[in-house]
Structure 1
């Protein structure tokens, strides 16, 4: 007697899809707050999602682009304010 249902889908692919979505959300959020933390996390999650072959490739690429944009925004504001962080 089986107590669990048979696995029909690989959890690795589902994890890669989740990493792509998380990368996009964190990259978007990083444009507003904590870009020094959320930018690299978004880049890392996008890289993991792309490495594992996600079905949400576009979302992973957007997360990668937004993560890079987070760091570029941080550098731009550091040049203007001469500080390590920025706020509204």
Structure 2
């Protein structure tokens, strides 16, 4: 991490990394919550001009993928909750 960067830039870089991590976690658990949070954080990081643009875009994509997975699972069994067990 660049400690000489302005605080605002470090905040946006943190948002980009957080969106990536939350989007990745959202594929496994709590995609109804973590997906939208990842999308919002990635959008804010991109809007504020993060230096980690690729990480923010990847977080945005993972957040959208979380919601797609949720929609697919909801259509498969008709509920918001799902499990892997038969």
The TM-score normalised by the length of structure 1 is: 0.89
Task: Report Cα offsets for 1:4-63 as digits up to 9, x if no partner.
Answer: xxx953111000000000000000000000000000000000001001100100000000
> Which structure 2 residue ranges, 5 or more long, are not aligned?
none
Structure 1, unmatched stretches of 5+, are 1-6
In structure 2, distance between residues paired with 1:55 and 1:22: 14
The aligned counterpart of 2:13 is 17
Divergent runs of 4+, >3 A: none
CA contact (8 A) 1:33 1:87 kept: no
> Aligned equivalents of 1:40 and 1:55: distance in 2?
22
The one-character-per-residue Cα deviations of 1:43-87 (angstroms, maximum 9, x if unpaired) are 000001001100100000000000000000000000001001223
Q: CA RMSD in A?
A: 1.3
TM-score by length of 2: 0.91
Q: Distance in 2 between matches of 1:56 and 1:8?
A: 16
Aligned residues: 82
Give 1:73's match in structure 2, choosing from 43, 56, 69. Answer: 69
Q: Which has the larger radius of gyration?
A: 1
